[in-house]
Amino acid sequence: MATLVLTPEQQIQRLNSILNKVEVLQKLPLNRLITAPNTKSWNVLEVLEHLRIAYSLYDKKIENALVGSPSSNLDSWSFKARPWQRFLIEGQRPKGKKRPFKIKTLKRFEPLLDDKSLSEEASDSIFENFFTAYQLLKSSIVESRQKQMKHRPFASAIGPVVRFYLPEAFEFLICHAERHLVQIEEILASQK
Amino acid sequence: MEHSNLELLKSVFKGIAFTGEEELSFAKLWKERHFKQNGLITEAGSIERYFYVVIEGVQAIYLLDQKGEKVVLGFSYAGSPSGVFDSFIHQKPSDTFLEALKPSRLLAISRNEYLHLFEKHPELHQWGHYFFRDILFGRLFREVELLTLSAEERYVAFMRRCPEELKVIPQKYLASYLNMKPETFSRLRASVSY
């Protein structure tokens, strides 16, 4: 597998692209946001809620790692992802408009929304929570540009078997969000 | 607003004759914004909200290539306008980053205020014509240099015309702007006089 060099600028640009796409989704009528392709699949709001849950499992870990990282007066970091972490990141990253392979979602990552409670207000709240979470992620990446990536790696959301440095965690979360945006495109395409 | 900042703005918007009152309301439209070294002024993927005039510091405008490497398109520095103009005008997400390479102080005007200014002072359209003409000619001149000059010639031409404050920014930014490797830039700096 080729080397994967991560930079905060690349991540910020992609995260902005994700945020812009979700802003467009927010303008869709509610019936499109709550309609799933089939009973086993999620609808758009469930996907966004899943993304919020995924981020919430890293929120504190990222904050602690930033506090534990020494400041840097030099240019922003450039980080070579380690092999095992790179493998997991690449497993998330969509290949063009395709998700490389389906991954069974663990129970604690499931959105568990009640379809009947998905009102306009609930939808607004899901979008708002998503934007709060991913703006916070962006703020963390921006803050990390003034830091050296010399903190203690932290356990990923699936446990200590995978430990991340901040650039790896950022990349994992962004690839995960990009993957689910592809899923959202598939959900919306199925409605035509 | 400090007198020196108003003079700076007037030097950028030269040719516009404001009355005393107009000058006062013109000055009020501008807010001073500060950025730390390496701070991002505008992020790629976001919409440029301001047109800037630089009071102090050096800024680089760059985009990322497919490998994620920075490709520097230009610089702004004390006395020059700054910002991501295409994003500012079209209000579309920017393809480029604008970064403070040195601690920077900039005067900023929002898009609404900028457009309002043009409505209120139609003579600004002529200023705008010359401003964007100069940018276009500058880009064309740079394109010719990149396509026709050797690395050494590009280095000499640039170093002869660039302001002193630009010569102290990290070499990799200057090297990227001149479309050469940092090692080449370093070798030329050590061996070529201009």
Asked whether the beta carbons of A79 and A2 are under 8 A apart, the reply is no
DSSP E strands, chain B: 31-35, 40-42, 50-56, 58-64, 70-77, 81-82, 97-100, 104-110
The alpha-carbon gap from B125 to the nearest alpha carbon of chain A, in Å, equals 32
Q: Euclidean distance between the first and final Cα of chain A, in Å?
A: 38
- Of the CA atoms within 13 Å of residue A117, those in its CB half-sphere come to 7
A18 to chain B: closest CA residue = B45
B-chain CB neighbours of A177 within 8 Å are none
pLDDT digits 0-9 by tens, A62-101:
999 999 999 988 889 999 999 999 999 998 999 887 777 6
A5, A13, A19: residue with CB nearest B44: A13
Query: How far apart are the C-alpha atoms of A58 and B40, rounded to whole Å?
Result: 24
At residue B78, the 3 state secondary structure works out as coil
B45/A73 touch (CB, cutoff 8 Å), yes or no: no
| β-strands B70-77, B58-64 pairing | antiparallel
B99 to chain A: closest CA residue = A9
Domain B3-119 has CATH 3.40.50.10490: no
A184: which residues sit within 8 A by CB, 6+ positions away? A25, A44, A47
Output the furthest CA–CA distance in chain B (Å, rounded): 55
B172/A17 touch (CB, cutoff 8 Å), yes or no: no
A9/B70 touch (CB, cutoff 8 Å), yes or no: yes
B38/A16 touch (CB, cutoff 8 Å), yes or no: no
Looking at this protein, which amino acid is placed at residue B129?
A: H
pTM of the entire predicted model? 0.91
The alpha-carbon gap from B192 to the nearest alpha carbon of chain A, in Å, equals 27
A141 to chain B: closest CA residue = B40
Residue A158: pLDDT band (50, 70, 90) is confident
Which residue ranges make up each domain of chain B?
3-119
Query: How far apart are the C-alpha atoms of A125 and B188, rounded to whole Å?
Result: 58
Kindly state the tokens that stand for B101: 């390479």
A143 to chain B: closest CA residue = B39
B57: which residues sit within 8 A by CB, 6+ positions away? B35, B77, B78, B100, B101, B102, B103, B104, B105, B106
CA neighbor of A118 nearest in space, from A20, A56, A190, A30:
A30
B45/A145 touch (CB, cutoff 8 Å), yes or no: no
A-chain CB neighbours of B172 within 8 Å are 75
A5, A20, A75: residue with CB nearest B45: A20
Residue B157: pLDDT band (50, 70, 90) is very high
Query: How far apart are the C-alpha atoms of B22 and B121, rounded to whole Å?
Result: 10
Interface residues of chain B, partner chain A, Cβ below 8 Å = 36-38, 40, 43-46, 64, 67-68, 70, 93, 97, 170, 172
* Partner B contacted by A14 (CB < 8 A): yes
What interface predicted TM-score (ipTM) does this complex get? 0.88
pLDDT digits 0-9 by tens, A108-157:
677 776 766 788 899 999 999 999 999 999 999 999 999 999 888 999 88
Kindly state the tokens that stand for A108: 């604690």
Query: How far apart are the C-alpha atoms of B116 and B113, rounded to whole Å?
Result: 5
Query: How far apart are the C-alpha atoms of B117 and A110, rounded to whole Å?
Result: 52
Backbone φ and ψ for A128, nearest 5 degrees, come out as: -60, -45
Query: How far apart are the C-alpha atoms of B109 and A94, rounded to whole Å?
Result: 40
pLDDT of residue A115: 67
What does the CA dihedral B170, B175, B178, B180 come to, rounded to 10 degrees?
Answer: 180
